[in-house]
Amino acid sequence: MEHTHTVEGHEHQEHEGSTKTIWKTFWILLCVTVVEVALAFLHLETGFPSRLVLNAIFVGLTVVKAFFIVAEFMHLRHEIKNLILTILIPLMLFVWFIIAFLADGDSWKNMRKDLAPGAPRQELPAVHTEEGHH
């Protein structure tokens, strides 16, 4: 009982100051988006962050934005632990989905390249002759 009371008290305190948190979250989301767009333009103008690095940054920043939306706007951070786990554990499946499916797509691409008419027969002997020279 005592425990639940302290939790409720804590929640009330947070409601008082929460308009501030809301706007803070908004500025974070806005800044992250602006940074993303700025990086995209930087890449278009100078080609500086290479495509791979850029994509990694974009994916990372997307996860950051997703975290803030779910934790603050959807209030999940302030829910009880069981609800948080109920939501997050099934979503872990996505980690596997993404790895598995993207790897699958990539292997398809390689097969299409390697098995394209003409392509492999020229490539494979070429490797062999190179090794033969050494």
| Nearest by Cα to 65 from 92, 36, 43 | 36
User: CB neighbours of 86 closer than 8 A, spacing ≥ 6?
Assistant: none
Least gap, CB of 124 to another protein (angstroms) = 19
* Measured torsion, CA atoms of residues 67, 43, 109, 101, in degrees rounded to the nearest 10: 0
Number of residues this chain uses to bind another protein (CB under 8 A): 44
Least Cβ distance, residue 106 to another protein (angstroms): 5
At CA 105, angle to CA 102 and CA 110, rounded to 5? 125
The nearer residue to another protein, 48 or 101, going by C-beta atoms, is 101
Residue 25: name the closest of 75, 59, 79, 60 by CA: 75
Output the smallest distance, CB 87 to another protein, in A: 6
- We find the least distance from the C-beta atom of residue 126 to another protein, in angstroms, to be 20
Positions 75 through 134 that interact with another protein (CB under 8 A): 75, 83, 86-87, 90-91, 94, 97-98, 101-102, 104-106, 108-109, 112-113
Q: Judged by CB, which is closer to another protein: 92, or 131?
A: 92
